[in-house]
């Protein structure tokens, strides 16, 4: 449906789950994809799996608990490919935790990975894209960004709300340089994180469409937001939640 040949995209947090589905979808559309994760071993494994399909991958490991590493990751990908057509900020951490159990260290750790690393990666990508006069950034936020962190902690919800705010701030500034910035707020998605939920809990969430999203359904939306079909869309947050936000 989309032809992204001769383009290069970096997807953070792409060794599994939503990020890996995004990397696969972009690769199948002809793009060169940057695979990022904390450990070189998992990054190599994800690259090897995609390389078996004949697609070009670039390994860029880095631990985003140290946010400045995100800048090195973007620069390493750009150096390896010679271009950067898009950045997908998907790397994130989260664990259900009651507010009374929240500590400042836990709060800061979540913000370092989910928000600060995304900000720094976006800044580096923005600098590169400005010179070219085009490009796209898609931030993977969460339904939790738009209300209470019902299924995740307050730290997770607040960090994702910050990511939505960054999306709109950068979109406003970058538009005059031909750079579009959007976000996706997924609801419940079939990933390793949600696989641990009991079936009773899943049913009690009462998703109008009656099921969790597949990672590929999030990836399809990312493809759209990075394609020319969305050339007039920026600063938007797309809810992909099966109607849960209603």
Angle at 124 between CA 8 and CA 178, to 5 degrees: 65
Spatial distance between the Cα atoms of 90 and 14, rounded to a whole number of angstroms: 7
198 in a structural domain: yes
Give, as one character, the DSSP assignment of residue 115. Answer: I
190 in a structural domain: yes
Domain that holds residue 103: 8-240
Spatial distance between the Cα atoms of 195 and 199, rounded to a whole number of angstroms: 9
CATH of residue 116's domain is: 3.40.50.720
- Sorted by sequence, the CB contacts under 8 Å of residue 228 that are 6+ apart come out as none
What stretch of H or E contains 11? Answer: strand 8-11
- 6-45 pLDDT tens trace: 999 999 999 999 999 999 999 999 999 999 999 999 999 9
3 in a structural domain: no
Catalytic member of 2, 78, 126, 156: 156
232 noted as active-site residue:
no
2 in a structural domain: no
Overall domain count for the chain? 1
26 in a structural domain: yes
pTM: 0.94
53 in a structural domain: yes
Reported as a pLDDT band with limits 50, 70 and 90, residue 183 is very high
Asked which of 141-150, 164-173, 198-207 is least confident by mean pLDDT, the reply is 198-207
92 in a structural domain: yes
Reported as a pLDDT band with limits 50, 70 and 90, residue 103 is very high
12 in a structural domain: yes
- 192-211 pLDDT tens trace: 777 667 777 777 888 999 88
Reported as a pLDDT band with limits 50, 70 and 90, residue 186 is very high
Compute the 3-state secondary structure of the chain and give helix, strand, coil in percent, each to the nearest 5.
Answer: 50, 15, 35
């Amino acid at each position: 449906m989309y032809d992204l040949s001769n383009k290069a995209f970096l997807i953070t947090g792409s060794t599994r789950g939503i990020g890996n589905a995004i990397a696969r979808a972009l690769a199948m559309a002809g793009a060169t994809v940057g695979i990022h994760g904390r450990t070189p071993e998992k990054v190599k494994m994800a690259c090897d799996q995609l390389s078996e399909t004949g697609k070009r991958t670039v390994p860029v490991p880095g631990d985003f608990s140290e946010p400045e590493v995100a800048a090195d990751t973007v620069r390493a990908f750009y150096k390896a490919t010679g271009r950067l057509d898009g950045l997908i900020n998907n790397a994130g951490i989260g664990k259900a935790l009651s507010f009374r159990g929240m500590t400042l260290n836990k709060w800061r750790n979540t913000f370092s990975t989910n928000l600060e690393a995304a900000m720094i990666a976006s800044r580096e990508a923005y600098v590169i894209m400005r010179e070219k006069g085009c490009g796209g950034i898609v931030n993977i936020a969460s339904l939790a960004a738009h209300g209470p962190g019902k299924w995740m902690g307050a730290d997770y919800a607040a960090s994702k709300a910050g990511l939505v705010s960054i999306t709109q701030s950068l979109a406003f500034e970058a538009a005059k340089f031909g750079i579009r910035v959007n976000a996706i707020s997924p609801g419940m998605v079939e990933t390793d994180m949600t696989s641990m939920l009991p079936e009773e809990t899943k049913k009690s969430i009462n998703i109008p469409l009656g099921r969790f999203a597949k990672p590929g359904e999030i990836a399809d939306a990312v493809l759209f937001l990075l394609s020319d079909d969305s050339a007039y869309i920026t600063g938007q947050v797309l809810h992909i939640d099966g109607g849960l936000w209603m």
